[in-house]
Structure 1
């Protein structure tokens, strides 16, 4: 399974876990950011719900919201990214 959530996150899985991955840009030997992107595993979960809740929490933690209204709008945007990602999942027949 591989589900892109927005532009910065990807949900993958292995035999035991649902894995939350975050995009980052690689650096060269001098420490300069290159345009080559990759994903780093940032959490392991038992369920998709757990991974999606962790994604929302990580976005809240990493956000310097000036107001509660601004934070609410950001969380709503993250939830919208999750709903769009769920639409891309094909049902098992």
Structure 2
């Protein structure tokens, strides 16, 4: 399984877990950020629901919102990214 959620997250799986991954840009030998993208595993969960809840929680904690209204708008964007990602998943027949 590999599901992109927005531009920054990817949900994958291994035989035992649902894995939440976050995109980052690699650095060269001098420590300069390159244009090469990669994903880092940031959490392991027992269900897709748990992984998506954790993604929302991480976004809330990492938000730079200065008001509840700003935070609500940020969470709404994250939820919309999740909704769009789940719409793209094809059912197993």
**TM-score under structure 1 length normalisation:** 0.99
Counterpart of 1:58 in structure 2 is 58
Counterpart of 1:3 in structure 2 is 3
CA distance in 1, matches of 2:2, 2:84: 14
CA distance in 2, matches of 1:48, 1:76: 19
Q: Name the SS of the counterpart of 1:3 in structure 2.
A: strand
CA distance in 2, matches of 1:62, 1:27: 22
4+ residue segments displaced more than 2 Å = none
RMSD, aligned α-carbons? 0.4
CA distance in 2, matches of 1:47, 1:9: 16
Gaps of 5+ in 2: none
Counterpart of 2:49 in structure 1 is 49
How far does the alpha carbon of each residue in 1:6-61 deviate from its partner, in whole angstroms, 9 at most, with x for none? 00000000100000000000000110000000000000000001000000000011
Counterpart of 1:82 in structure 2 is 82
The CA deviation at 1:64 is 1.4
